[in-house]
Amino acid sequence: MAITAANISKAQLKHCLLLYPDVIDEVYDSRIKNSKKLFEAKVRDKWRYEELPNALKVARGMSLAELERLVQWKITHGQNRPFLPSMVRKNDAGTVTKATEKAAKLLSSLNATTTSQKALELTLSALDAACILTGVGPATGALVLSVYDPNNAVFFQDELFAWCVPEKKDTKLKYDKKEYSELFKRAYDLRERLGDGTQMVELEKASFVLQHLDVVDEASREALEAGPVDSVIQLANEQASSKATDSKGTSDAETSPPPAVQKAASRNTTKTKRKKADETATPAAKRKRAKK
């Protein structure tokens, strides 16, 4: 069964986050053939999700160079819009710093307890502050906000929109504030369902993984659909132990992990054994195995 915004569990969300590094590598490998540009893109992805948010925790204004690099990440990660960096470059450095600092301050009152409606109002005000810059529309502006507040700000990402608003998946987006508001409300509803501690940036990454499952191997997809293998097996074992205490008549079928989990776990174990065998095999054994 497909994992949708309506049925995803917290465990599956966490599993998606574990898959993200491999998925982004595979997606970039398929898109970028120049080795230097590929390396830069992967470094930039880490910078966008880790280094830049940490640098902006003090809510300082963003530099023009940072905004340019962020836009470069956006057009590599999503739709390629080669004209966008040159448009952003036309901005005055001081104006970029002031606009992004104002946006960050407007956003600073957001927290996990803010109501969806109030959060939307604050976010749209912050978005307006960022969108005075040349080349910065609602999508890029929302990206700026999400870097300042990964917990509460929603990035207007294609994959996230398609996942949260599936009825409009095949609609050509206008990337306006109306569409952003719709995405924002759906994302907040999803976070409320998943519970405290869920971050908007986690939904962003999870949606990217789920919209690019074609690069994920079959065993990992099956494990994802069933829930993370270790946690599901652990839960099944705990349930089995509990049932054994309460009743001695429990059958093996009642305490076994779901078939998809067993199958995925078996495949993962087989892969590990093969890898270890390859590492310890003699050259002659490797040649013999290769002929099979």
Report the sign of the C-alpha dihedral through residues 58, 62, 63, 68, in that order.
Answer: positive
What tens digit of pLDDT does each residue of 10-61 get? Answer: 999 999 999 999 999 999 999 999 999 999 999 999 999 999 999 999 879 9
For residue 97, the model assigns a pLDDT of: 98
For residue 257, the model assigns a pLDDT of: 45
| Residue 227 clears pLDDT 70, i.e. is over it | yes
Mean pLDDT: which of 2-6, 193-197, 276-280 is highest? 2-6
Q: How confident is the model at residue 110 (pLDDT cuts 50, 70, 90)?
A: confident
For residue 282, the model assigns a pLDDT of: 56
What tens digit of pLDDT does each residue of 158-168 get? Answer: 999 999 999 99
Mean residue pLDDT of the chain comes to 85
Range 162-181 average pLDDT: 95
Q: How confident is the model at residue 236 (pLDDT cuts 50, 70, 90)?
A: very low
For residue 118, the model assigns a pLDDT of: 95
Give dist(CA 8, CA 135) in Å, integer.
35
For residue 86, the model assigns a pLDDT of: 96
Ramachandran assignment for 172, one of left (phi > 0), alpha (psi -120 to 50 degrees), beta (any other): beta
What token pair was written down for 246? 């309460």
For residue 216, the model assigns a pLDDT of: 96
Structural element, H or E, at residue 167: none
| Residue 281 clears pLDDT 60, i.e. is over it | no
For residue 232, the model assigns a pLDDT of: 45
What tens digit of pLDDT does each residue of 240-264 get? Answer: 555 455 544 443 443 444 444 444 4
For residue 1, the model assigns a pLDDT of: 79
For residue 106, the model assigns a pLDDT of: 95
Q: How confident is the model at residue 233 (pLDDT cuts 50, 70, 90)?
A: very low
Query: Among residues of the chain, what percentage have pLDDT more than 90?
Result: 70
What is the Cβ-side half-sphere exposure of residue 109, based on CA atoms within 13 angstroms? 11
Is pLDDT larger for residue 230 or for residue 236?
230
For residue 284, the model assigns a pLDDT of: 54
Cα dist from 255 to 240, 247, 263, whole Å: 5, 12, 16
Query: Mapped to the 3 state alphabet, what secondary structure does 36-67 carry?
Result: HHHHHHHHHHHHHHHHHHHHCCCCCCCCHHHH
